Chain A
Amino acid sequence: MPLRVVLAEDNLLVREGVTSLLSTYDDIELVDACSDMVELMASVAAHGPDVVLTDIRMPPGHTDEGIQAARRLQHEAPDIGVVVLSQYVEPAYALDLLGNGSRRRGYVLKDNVDDVDRLATALRTVASGGSYIDDDVVDALVRGRRRSLGSPLTRLTARETDVLAELATGRSNAAIARALGISEHAIEKHTSVIFAKLGLAEKTDVNRRVMAVLLFLAGRPSETAEHC
């Protein structure tokens, strides 16, 4: 069963480009391509896709229509995943998207859309209930947190910081182990230590873990997204 995707992107060239890119994957089927938020919501109602792939800035307002669409879908159709394809590397946008929980939500930078498998991985992860945050966004978050006064990140070792960044992308322990070249067991141990050092309650569910880490990195540890 191919993954059914609806695309929303107001720029013609990018829309064509992403369409072509997705057509190279056998397990992904682009059901419809829209150019503004109104069309998107109508298309979702008509086609019932598994994942929505959307730009942030679209007509009518050219502000954060993609994020608004994600919020609406959270209420109206919570089983549909949303991957936002954005030109904004600033973490504030990603946090906006995940404000209502990280389940079935992904954030990929347009800059990296030509990185062959990134987009496909994001779509697949989100469709199966997980979360995906672009590495570059996480990097910006980590850098930001390190910069702020008296950052607790200074308590972590370099390896622990790497693991933390990986946790923030939403990857599973297995995927992190592969990415860093260490065992899953080591990942689990690192994770416990990290959470202890940062004073965070440990979460077993991957989605809750992502939220906890992201919120921490954004400097809002008191908020917990319990409605993941």
Chain B
Amino acid sequence: MPADHQYALHGTPVFDEERERLHLLVVYDVVTGATAVVVIVMTYVFIARTPWLPLLAVLVALAASLMAAGFRPIARGDLEGAVRRLAVANWSIALAAAAIATFAWPLMVLAALLPAVLAPPYVPRRRLGLYVAASLAVALGVATIGLLQDFSGFEDQLPTWVPPAVVIFFTPFMAWMVIETVLQNSTRLHAALSHTLAANVQLRQSEEVLAKQAESLQASRARLVAATDRERRRVERDLHDGAQQRLVAVGLRLRLTQDLCRRDPDAAIQALAALREEVHAARTELRDLAHGVYPAVLSQHGLGAALGAAADRCPIPVGVDADNVRRFDRQVEATVYFCCVEALQNAAKYAGAEARVQLTIDFDGDQLGFTVADDGVGFDTTEVPEGDGFANLRDRLGATGGRLVVDSRTGRGTTVTGTLPAVPR
């Protein structure tokens, strides 16, 4: 498994780009080497039959082969391995060539530096130092060997125009490799940097959006909790003021009736009849209260039956179209039920005594929707921000991934539509 290195991870498209690039560089280097071999051979054949030339040709060919041996690691994905081979080849041939053809030492300095310039994208940081140090050492060695010795006497065996011609011919090749490598490195670095900057900006923007969403969710939760508390207090109040008081009154009257039984049995019978009325009334109140908390018919028989009963309790006439609604999970049914009840209550409060309401439930396979539409007085949605009456509905629906749409025109009635995702039982 090839090691991760500085710029690109194995398997990413960036890695493939790097691989391509290195491949090209190695090709280029090998071709340069091959060209050198050809030039050397031609010099030997046409210009000077000195034995150093074939030796040099062989050495360059060996170096080029070593470089070419880097193709296999590249194919494997081991880019550092290829760079290693290329570096060793370059350094070896730089030293050898400088030793033999001392006039070529400037070119060989370039050859010695190439590995250091090439290595950064392909070699992990901790080993990069080695390549740089080695390149510097070889470059120094090349300069020293080239300038301070001439054991081969090779230059003297060549016509005077050959050494300058060789250097001038090969300088652009070598220089180009170094320049191109450096340029590419910096371009890619620049691209990577701007990409990172852009990504950072996007990240910051996303963070802001998320922070806002988190805020609004928190606010919604707080409202829901507050609404639950209000409901509890309302139940407690209704129990206390309504049914509880009635029962207290019934208790008192029963006490009085007890006395009446002996004194005036007929009056006692009448009193008891009145008491039964009181008890009936208390029962009705308690039943309504229980409905407000959670109607049993909703869990037993679903939305159709429960909404029918809710419509009955509404002071203005309500038409219900929910006959063939299927069963959904508890939370979905409860959400739709309580939203509809609240919408009905709003209509009863604000639509006016002459209004009529139509309540519809529909399911399109994906979304369960309810519509509560009245033909009452309506209101101007642009003028009046929807206020508390709808915030509760929105929160309830939002909590289950649904949405609410309120449409109203003064004098033309109000339509409240809610939808939420639902899966039938």
Contacts and interface: CB of A to CB of B under 8 A. Distances in A.
Interface of A: 57, 63-64, 87-93, 96, 111, 114, 140, 143-144, 147-149, 219
A89 B291 CA distance: 12
A111 B277 CA distance: 11
B283 A111 contact: yes
Interface residues of B, number: 22
Nearest to B322: A148
Instruction: Rank and list the top 9 A-B pairs by shortest CB-CB distance, nearest first.
Output: A92-B305, A92-B301, A90-B297, A219-B323, A144-B308, A147-B319, A90-B309, A90-B305, A147-B320
A221 B320 CA distance: 18
Given A90-B301, A93-B297, A148 B320 contact: yes
B331 interface: no
Contacts of B284: 111
B296 interface: yes
A182 B155 CA distance: 141
Interface string B54-90: 0000000000000000000000000000000000000
Nearest to A115: B276
Nearest to A62: B296
A interface secondary structure, majority: loop
A142 to B, nearest CB: 11
B372 interface: no
Contacts of A92: 297, 300-301, 304-305
Contacts of B177: none
Contact of B280 (A57, A96, A111, A149): A111
Contacts, number: 48
Contacts of B320: 144, 147-148
A140 B301 CA distance: 15
Contacts of B305: 90-92
Contacts of A64: 300
A144 B306 CA distance: 11
A130 to B, nearest CB: 26
A140 B287 contact: no
Nearest to A96: B301
Contacts of A96: 301
A149 B300 contact: no
B297 A140 contact: no
B238 interface: no
B150 interface: no
A191 to B, nearest CB: 25
Contacts of B317: 147
Which residue, of B308, B311, B317, B321, has the highest number of chain A Cβ atoms within 10 A? B308
A64 B320 CA distance: 25
A140 B300 contact: no
Nearest to B283: A111
Which of A91, A92, A111, A114 is the most central at the interface, judged by chain B CB atoms within 10 Å of its CB? A92
Interface in B260-301: 276, 280, 283-284, 287, 296-297, 300-301
19 contacts: A63-B300, A88-B296, A88-B297, A89-B309, A90-B301, A90-B308, A91-B305, A92-B301, A92-B305, A93-B301, A111-B280, A111-B284, A140-B309, A140-B312, A144-B320, A147-B308, A147-B319, A148-B319, A219-B323
Contacts of B308: 90-91, 140, 144, 147
A23 to B, nearest CB: 18
A144 B297 CA distance: 15
Nearest to A139: B312
Contacts of A63: 300
Contacts of B311: 147
A204 B259 CA distance: 55
A63 B299 CA distance: 9
Given A90-B306, A92-B300, A149-B319, 15 more contacts: A87-B287, A88-B296, A88-B297, A90-B305, A90-B308, A91-B308, A92-B304, A93-B300, A93-B301, A144-B308, A144-B320, A147-B308, A147-B317, A147-B320, A219-B323
Contact of A143 (B283, B300, B312, B321): B312
Contacts of A57: 296
Nearest to B311: A147
Contacts of A147: 308, 311, 317-320
A87 B306 CA distance: 15
Nearest to B291: A90
A217 B308 CA distance: 13
A111 B285 CA distance: 12
A87 B286 CA distance: 11
Nearest to B284: A111
Contacts of B309: 89-90, 140
A148 B318 contact: no
A90 B302 CA distance: 11
**Most A Cβ at <10 Å: residue of B312, B318, B320:** B312
A192 B230 CA distance: 54
A210 B321 CA distance: 24
- Listed residue (A57, A88, A143) with the most chain B CB atoms within 10 angstroms of its CB: A88
A93 B300 CA distance: 9
B276 A114 contact: yes
Interface string B345-389: 000000000000000000000000000000000000000000000
Nearest to B319: A147
